[in-house]
Amino acid sequence: MTLDHFPQGPQDASYAPLVKGDRVATPMYEDPAIFDVEMEKIFGKTWVWVGHESEVPDKGNFKLSVVGTQPVIISRDRKGALHVLVNRCRHRAATVCEIKKGKTSSFQCPYHGWGYALDGSLRGVPYTEGYNTDFDKKDYGLKKLKVETYQGMIFASFNMDVEPLEDFLGNAKLWIDLFMKQGGGFPVKTLGEHQFKVPMNWKIQLENTTDAYHFPVVHKSFMQSLDGEATQQFSFLEDDDGWVEDLGNGHSVMVMMPELNDLDDNLDAPIPERFEALAETLRADYDEAQVRRIVRAVGGCGFNLNLFPNAACSLSFFRILRPVSVQETEIRHIALGMDGGPEAANQMRMRLHEHFQGPMGFGSPDDAEVWERVQRGSAGAGDLDVMVNRGVGLEDTSPNGLPKGDISAETGMRAAYRKWQEMMA
């Protein structure tokens, strides 16, 4: 076979029919050709969450990230402006940075020494005399993505004509604003992260962040490890005040504990027993109003906000997915805390995060197990569909005029798949 005849993927194929409203076709988890098109038509076109501003707080800071399967660098230049650059030398493609996070004044390619500024422009080329006079460094800057931020979250897009980030987030903005109240009066900052890889398609994870139905089943052993008060908090499937709302653009919110939607509300309520010791410690340095605000913020929000295609503001942390291949996905669970806030409060945030999250938490390994089981099961009877019909016919309209199902409805998954369908057409 010559290179001219190298097999090509289906040209202009539409995968839209694979989403059928209340169900999706099994090849969506299984077919590598679909994965390749997803990387191009979804991750190559829309806004993708790449990081949080507190990961690159100062001039000269950088952090490695990915957009779809493409390695990128988030950098803050000498004037403080953010850039997202493809981590690929414009000479012969070597990565220009392999340090996960740090501070620098430039990126130098290790292969032939091309040097790039923090904004990606090419500054230095060794032995330039080997290039003809028409060689212009201006033509060889690192490839740049479009960058915008909202509430400290950095999004990037390969699509220079993409809609403004705020339009893309739309109805989700209100929930992001609520989520960031977890700073308890301080700016929100990242406190580290747990990372683990699961042999599953990325959409299995996308579904899960808006799936309350699994909680009492998969997370039974986590529930058993809580005291009575906290168990009460996580029994949202028995309460009937939660809901799932389709926010448009593939985003959705799953409200588990509505009393924790706005952390500035109910500040006069009694401090829960499990936070009493923390409150007592804080009283040494803060007045009672601040103590209550910080304590309530430490417990986190009562909802999961799912942002299509790769991010979630989940209760008290960011959950970020990275598609690796059709059957492989990397998950990051990023802990959040209060920048400049009390050490005791941030310690408790980290201990709560460690309890559930991460490769060895009391929750995540059980999630990872069932996600892998979905992938393994999908190898059978590929003619059958994957059902996301829970709550169909039972939905009503939210006060914001959006489709809304009960807490265990698969409304958020249908919202995400509708966006998938639109983008994959």
Contact status, residue 143 vs residue 85, Cβ threshold 8 Å: yes
| String of DSSP letters for 218-272 | HTHHHHHTS-HHHHHHT-TTTSS--EEEEEETTEEEEES-GGGS-TTS-TTSPPP
Token pair, residue 419, equals: 């966006």
Of 111 and 135, nearer to ligand FES (C-beta) is: 111
DSSP state of 5: G
| String of DSSP letters for 60-110 | TEEEEEEETTEEEEEEE-TTS-EEEEESS-TTT---S---SEEE-SEEE-T
Among 125, 350, 374, 402, binds another protein (CB under 8 A): 350
107 sits near ligand FES (criterion: CB under 6 A): no
Amino acid at the residue 109? C
Q: Which of residues 100-129 bind another protein (CB under 8 A)?
A: 100
Q: Which of residues 304-343 bind another protein (CB under 8 A)?
A: 330, 335, 343
**Total chain residues near another protein (CB under 8 A):** 37
**Total chain residues near ligand FES (CB under 6 A):** 9
Amino acid at the residue 66? V
92 sits near ligand FES (criterion: CB under 6 A): yes
Residue bearing tokens 């790039």: 116
Q: Kindly state the smallest distance separating residue 217's Cβ from another protein, in Å.
A: 8
Q: Kindly state the smallest distance separating residue 357's Cβ from another protein, in Å.
A: 9
**Residue 166 β-bridge partners:** none
Say how far apart CA 375 and CA 26 lie, in whole Å: 10
Question: What's the count of helices (H) and strands (E) in the chain, helices before strands?
Answer: 13, 21
Of 55 and 367, nearer to Fe ion (C-beta) is: 367
Measure CA of the first residue to CA of the last residue in the chain; give whole Å: 32
Say how far apart CA 85 and CA 74 lie, in whole Å: 7
Q: Kindly state the smallest distance separating residue 378's Cβ from another protein, in Å.
A: 14
Q: Kindly state the smallest distance separating residue 211's Cβ from another protein, in Å.
A: 15
364 sits near another protein (criterion: CB under 8 A): yes
Contact status, residue 87 vs residue 95, Cβ threshold 8 Å: yes
Of 92 and 376, nearer to ligand FES (C-beta) is: 92
Residue bearing tokens 């009877």: 381
Among 367, 395, 406, 410, binds Fe ion (CB under 5 A): 367
Residues 6 or more apart from 294 whose CB is under 8 A from it? 184, 185, 282, 286, 338, 341, 342, 345
109 binds, among Fe ion, another protein, ligand FES, none (CB under 5 to 8 A by kind): ligand FES
Among 24, 37, 84, 89, binds ligand FES (CB under 6 A): 89
38 sits near Fe ion (criterion: CB under 5 A): no
Token pair, residue 177, equals: 């604003």
Of 94 and 350, nearer to ligand FES (C-beta) is: 94
Q: Kindly state the smallest distance separating residue 104's Cβ from ligand FES, in Å.
A: 16
262 sits near another protein (criterion: CB under 8 A): no
Find, among 113, 121, 120, the residue nearest to 137 by Cα. Answer: 121
C-alpha 371: how far from its chain's center? 17
Q: Which of residues 194-253 bind another protein (CB under 8 A)?
A: 194-198, 218, 220-222, 224-225
Q: Kindly state the smallest distance separating residue 64's Cβ from another protein, in Å.
A: 11
354 binds, among ligand FES, another protein, Fe ion, none (CB under 5 to 8 A by kind): another protein
Report the SS3 class of residue 266: coil
C-alpha 140: how far from its chain's center? 31
User: x/- contact string, 152-191, with another protein (CB under 8 A)?
Assistant: ---------------------------------------x
Residues that bind ligand FES (CB under 6 A): 89, 91-92, 94, 109, 111-114
Residues that bind another protein (CB under 8 A): 100, 191-198, 218, 220-222, 224-225, 330, 335, 343, 346-347, 350-351, 353-355, 358-360, 362, 364-366, 368-370, 372, 376
